[in-house]
A and B are shown apart, each in its own frame.
Chain A
């Protein structure tokens, strides 16, 4: 074969020939190739080039050049490949993952008009409200989990989950705020539905399989209110209330696997030692009326902070009752370490803003009927005026006689005495306020409405009850046994002959939902405007469909008017408190202000 068939190249056919170095052609550096020639054996399909006179001999270097760039260019991979990364999300517990009920009425495929284009107008009208990961959510899986959740307005439009009524958009935003947060303070003004927003957030987290256990800590009088709201807003969510018996309670802590447990502050404090058990741990702990832990060193606050938990939610309409420290101490539960010791008040807002959501009724007023405040100044009856003037004059004389031994309690006693006279004359029982209240209540009852009357004391409520007997008065205060209280509220709601509920601030100012009342009377004034607001908001809250009229009784030229003017000034300060522009002053009356109520010279001796 060798020599018979040769691969021959004709120089003239190879325009690039000059670029090929060979033993016969010098390299660019002037040297000649020295590698031995190699024979290229022909293949069957090889063509003979007749014009070649000599067999082609190509050395290794030549062959490399022939197969290298630019003469041969690789096409690269002809196939296309792709790689993927995926995330699987928590599965809800089977009992909560049942498919939605089938509809009795089938979807009508024939009746639907063919839309040419998406309905941009209606889509634009309805703002979609969705959960979003928080800034401190680090893991991509967690971030995607919240980003990929369906819009809340779709879930809660009354079809997917059973709800008594569709939440307002601001409430959906509250749920979108709570759900992804491990540290949250929902500080909506009273009456905007913190309870409902919390329950629906919990319900969704349970449904999504994100949480499996939750503990609700609430003031004792509100335990049954939570139970009632849970049945209303999350009928598919099992819950249990911690029993009063310590042994049963221990079992509830350590054995029960009920997903949601409810305990009151007092019982929790008594169970402090159980909390060290690793089984007493929760995915979420919710603190209702979180101002209860505003005193950082109190036993309650310490025990609350010791509960093992992954998420900490606090609820309060008054995150700052008196001082900025109230908020700092609530955050000691919400996110321990978030606010370092001795943080200047001006910095608190920037440290906490991502974890606080607060809306006022003004913010959402389009969703709420109006609240009308009426300060009703009444003139004391002659008997009251006589008793009042004598008590005040004698009291001031007495205070001055105390000299340096005077304390704020002495002044306080006088204030209380005078306030009681403003309510009723101690001798005759006459009351200018009561006369006016009876008149107003006749109007309320005639219109078929219901009213709540608040007082600082139980005794006036007893007298008021007698005077309002035709209107079916019901009493709700500290002397009513705990077990009897909720039937009273149910009767007030359901009995058309019961038009008035008489409450003390202490028992009736927090957590109760009395939105079926349209009138609130503050028979006497509390010391702190935040407490008064809470009382008013029993009636002016979500679910209220009619305007609420609030009447604050005030007797002319008395201690009540002086206190009211101070409190009004403080209320203005309160509105700016959350902005944390500066360390807020006390909302109640401080010692100097109490002494300032009277024209007395005596002052306590300071050590």
Chain B
């Protein structure tokens, strides 16, 4: 991953979905108008009891940010200038891919810096340890088309995941 984030011509949306069969991720990269450039889907991961014990409290962040998030971002050809996720625990993706990451869910506890921007109908959360990203995040959000609501693409991702499952893709990827 490059240290300097790429030019912000694209934005990534990472959705983490918890299902009966495990946790899976859907990752949509759009241009600044919200049009899809790439979509990538992970298989569902179901940690067993031993893995739960061994990974302990780090398991969720490892699954969301490292295993699913990082894999999806790295396997996708288009590098975004910003990643938005619907999972607070996936904010750790910032440390793995070197791209600013925002969550669109209520923050957990005291961690996280809350941002408000016209491009989002809900508050945005930035990991506290990456408070330096704040200015660059706002600059990139400003570049988005005004019609974009950052919460909206997650609806598309969920529908696409359902469609892919219907077509047997998630099984095939497994």
A residues near B, CB below 8 A? 75-76, 78, 80-89, 91-92, 97, 99-100, 102-103, 106-109, 112, 114-115, 117-119, 123, 128, 130, 133, 140, 143-145, 147-151, 154-155, 157, 159-160, 207-208
Contacts and interface: CB of A to CB of B under 8 A. Distances in A.
B51 A91 contact: no
Contact of B42 (A76, A82, A115): A82
A159 B144 CA distance: 12
B17 interface: no
A76 B71 CA distance: 22
A31 B41 CA distance: 58
Q: Which of A86, A100, A128 has the most CB of B within 10 A?
A: A86
B124 to A, nearest CB: 11
A109 B135 CA distance: 11
A293 to B, nearest CB: 35
Contacts of A117: 122
Q: Name B's interface SS.
A: mixed
A84 B173 contact: yes
B129 interface: no
Interface in B31-46: 31-43, 45
A82 B45 contact: yes
Contacts of B40: 84-87
B163 A144 contact: yes
A133 B143 CA distance: 30
B7 to A, nearest CB: 11
A266 B116 CA distance: 59
Given A118-B122, A150-B33, A84 B39 contact: no
Contacts of B43: 82-84
Contacts of B35: 92, 149-150, 207-208
A377 to B, nearest CB: 53
B167 interface: yes
A74 to B, nearest CB: 10
A92 B32 CA distance: 13
Contacts of A87: 38-40
Given A78-B54, A140-B167, A159-B146, A99 B32 contact: yes
A159 B147 CA distance: 7
Q: Name A's interface SS.
A: loop
Q: Which of B41, B43, B147, B173 has the most CB of A within 10 A?
A: B147
Contacts of A145: 36
B138 A84 contact: no
B71 A114 contact: no
B123 A115 contact: yes
B118 to A, nearest CB: 5
B37 A76 contact: no
Given A112-B116, A115-B116, A91 B36 contact: no
A86 B50 contact: no
Given A83-B174, A99-B32, A91 B121 contact: no
B37 A80 contact: no
Interface in B15-57: 25, 28, 30-43, 45, 47-48, 50-51, 54
B116 A99 contact: no
Given A114-B116, A143-B163, A159-B145, A119 B121 contact: yes
Contacts of A159: 145-147
B47 A148 contact: no
A112 B118 CA distance: 8
Contacts of B95: none
Given A84-B173, A118-B122, A160 B167 contact: no
B156 A148 contact: yes
Contact of B51 (A80, A86, A112): A80
Q: Which of A80, A155, A207 has the most CB of B within 10 A?
A: A80
Contacts of A80: 45, 47, 51, 62-63, 67
A99 B9 contact: yes
A363 B36 CA distance: 33
B160 interface: yes
Contact of B146 (A76, A99, A103, A207): A103
Given A85-B40, A100-B33, A115-B122, A147 B160 contact: yes
Contacts of B48: 76
Given A78-B54, A100-B33, A151-B152, A88 B77 contact: yes
Contacts of A151: 152
Contacts of A75: 50
Q: Which of A108, A145, A147 has the most CB of B within 10 A?
A: A147
B41 to A, nearest CB: 6
A347 B71 CA distance: 51
B68 interface: yes
Contacts of A97: 31
Given A80-B63, A88-B37, A159-B147, A107 B45 contact: no
